[in-house]
Amino acid sequence: MTARRAEVLSGRAVADAVADRLLARIGELPFTPRLVFVRVGEDPASVYYVRSKQRFAKRVGVDAETMVLPEDVDQATLMRTIAELNADDRTDAVLVQLPLPGHLDAGPVLEAIDPAKDVDGFHPINVGRLWSGGPALAPCTPLGLLAILDHHGLDVHGRHVVIVGRSHMVGKPAAALFLSRHATVTVAHSRTRDLGSVVRAGDVVVAAVGRAGLIDASMVKPGAIVLDVGMTRVGDRIVGDVADDVWGVAGHMTPMPGGTGLVTVAMVLQNTLTAAERRRG
Amino acid sequence: MTARRAEVLSGRAVADAVADRLLARIGELPFTPRLVFVRVGEDPASVYYVRSKQRFAKRVGVDAETMVLPEDVDQATLMRTIAELNADDRTDAVLVQLPLPGHLDAGPVLEAIDPAKDVDGFHPINVGRLWSGGPALAPCTPLGLLAILDHHGLDVHGRHVVIVGRSHMVGKPAAALFLSRHATVTVAHSRTRDLGSVVRAGDVVVAAVGRAGLIDASMVKPGAIVLDVGMTRVGDRIVGDVADDVWGVAGHMTPMPGGTGLVTVAMVLQNTLTAAERRRG
């Protein structure tokens, strides 16, 4: 067991603080924001994630409902469901839980959600505004990384942030958000040569690949801030992309579990409030 | 004068090759693609750029027209002009030359152009698709950087590309395109600490800031590929972001003038062909 030199960046503490803030703000609204989850089938991970978000919604005073469509639903029915939610004036936010079953095409589904209700921030218009500086809804996991840093008073201005992983949900939008905070940003990935030397340049390291223990102590600059987003099931444990020995090198680090995932959930509700306030003026 | 060790990446050679390819392809079409430039006022740089693009259009067989609006045109008139061009079935491509005079707001103008005709690739939907993997029209300068590398058989797969500058027109879309080519990508900028050590990590360096001679030989890894996008008027010369002494260190380098700018122009016409083919099926 490596000595825990690094300070723990608790996701729970951040999620609790966000919950308190949202509860207070939502309590002052003249309406109750409404969030609808669309879940297709009974994939256990999807059931778990939607339930976590629904529980957090309840906690902060958002009216949340989960629509469950059968595993074999066809694309047209799913698209019609989204069109109805877009048209429903009472609904502020729509989140289609991914991944969808293999016979469904996620691209048109994500493009069908009204960008103003798209609290996952995956609609191309929101992606485009995120990169162009418009009023985007930004993806929740990267938003959560900023919330963790802000909560702990850690500033990335002028620092070098190395993001490992280039997914649409985490790596790429995280790059946009860290650039907007004036960090120097590197995006590394599976094709990167000499990943160790690239990651060692990072004052901040975001690990978002989904390969258990990919980032080890030899790859991390002493004192760096390490944010672990990866999640891999190993036996009956969920482990991150960051190996345990990094606790002995990093300056600050998120635990797994109890780290970035909790804050992602909180950001879904923060985006719901943002969407509701913008939509209802 | 530094010895020119680096191989010259001639923009003219690339633009000529693109012109030949476009001329052949456009000659086989059952229609003539049509491109309309909208220029506001008589800013000399804008006059020069639009004229260059119009000349290239003629060379490859594209029907191009420049609409000139008075310097003091109001936002509503400009927006109406764009709406008319969007609605005109004969027009495949619309390019509003930037920058606009200070009293006009460029954001709504760029969002007003039909994304299918947006050959500058600045509409948020095109930006979003560029980052999300959809059928985008990508910005011309970064597209040109890839064209230069491709023309010379230089592959960035797994290599580290350091982009200096984070503009919406060059730095950010270049990051998206180089990631799609499986490069490791770093975006540095004015707030970057120790720019030299960041740039020295680059197997490829893209300089896109607009500060004459910002990148000098001490900041470049020997043998690196250096692509100079910056342009600053110094007396009666146009100089790039890359200092002359980098010719003694780099492996390949674009000249200035005669480098990336010529290829940007060629890419406007390549995007026009892409837009026309997609639109007319």
Say whether residue B182 is in contact with chain A using an 8 A CB cutoff: yes
Q: Find chain A residues with C-beta within 8 A of B132's C-beta.
A: 122, 124, 127, 168
Nearest C-alpha of chain A: how many angstroms from B24? 34
**Residue range B60-70: average pLDDT?**
98
Which residues are paired to B56 by β-bridges?
A: none
Which residues are paired to B160 by β-bridges?
A: B184
Q: Is A38 helix (H, G, I), strand (E, B) or coil?
A: strand
**Residue range A108-133: average pLDDT?**
96
Q: What is the pLDDT of residue B39?
A: 98
CATH of B30-115, one of 1.20.120.790, 3.40.50.10860, 3.30.2320.50, 3.20.20.100: 3.40.50.10860
Which residues are paired to B64 by β-bridges?
A: B35
Cα(A168)–Cα(B110) distance, rounded to whole angstroms? 24
For domain B139-261, is the CATH number 3.40.50.1100? no
Say whether residue B221 is in contact with chain A using an 8 A CB cutoff: no
Closest CB to A131: pick one of B107, B172, B179.
Answer: B172
CATH topology for the A32-115 domain: Rossmann fold (3.40.50)
Q: What is the pLDDT of residue B184?
A: 98
Cα(B117)–Cα(B87) distance, rounded to whole angstroms? 11
pTM score: 0.96
- Give the H or E element holding residue A239: strand A237-239
Instruction: State the virtual CA torsion across B23, B24, B29, B32 in degrees, nearest 10.
Output: 10
| Catalytic (active site) residue A97 | yes
Contact yes or no for A104/A75 (Cβ under 8 A): yes
The 10s digit of each residue's pLDDT in A49-98 is 999 999 999 999 999 999 999 999 999 999 999 999 999 999 999 999 99
Q: How many residues does chain B have?
A: 281
Q: How confident is the model at residue B3 (pLDDT cuts 50, 70, 90)?
A: low
Q: How confident is the model at residue A207 (pLDDT cuts 50, 70, 90)?
A: very high
**Among A203, A248, A209, CA closest to A228:** A209
Q: Which segments within B34-176 are labelled E, that is strand?
A: 34-40, 63-69, 93-96, 160-164
The 10s digit of each residue's pLDDT in B225-241 is 999 999 998 898 989 99
Say whether residue B200 is in contact with chain A using an 8 A CB cutoff: no
Q: Which segments within B121-261 are labelled E, that is strand?
A: 160-164, 184-188, 204-207, 225-228, 232-234, 237-239, 252-253
The 10s digit of each residue's pLDDT in B100-113 is 999 999 999 999 99
Contact between B179 and A166 using a beta-carbon 8 Å cutoff: yes
Q: How confident is the model at residue B5 (pLDDT cuts 50, 70, 90)?
A: confident
Q: Is A187 helix (H, G, I), strand (E, B) or coil?
A: strand
- Give the H or E element holding residue A36: strand A34-40
The 10s digit of each residue's pLDDT in B248-274 is 999 999 999 999 999 999 999 999 999
Say whether residue A181 is in contact with chain B using an 8 A CB cutoff: no
Residue range(s) occupied by CATH 3.40.50.10860 in chain B = 30-115
Cα(A238)–Cα(A254) distance, rounded to whole angstroms? 14
**Among A185, A197, A191, CA closest to A209:** A191
Contact yes or no for A272/A22 (Cβ under 8 A): no
Contact between A182 and B172 using a beta-carbon 8 Å cutoff: no
Tell me the pLDDT of chain A averaged across its residues: 96
Residue range(s) occupied by CATH 3.40.50.720 in chain B = 139-261
Say yes or no to pLDDT of B166 above 60.
Answer: yes
Residue range(s) occupied by CATH 3.40.50.720 in chain A = 140-262
Residue range(s) occupied by CATH 3.40.50.10860 in chain A = 32-115
| Catalytic (active site) residue A53 | yes
CATH of domain A140-262: 3.40.50.720
Q: What is the pLDDT of residue A154?
A: 98
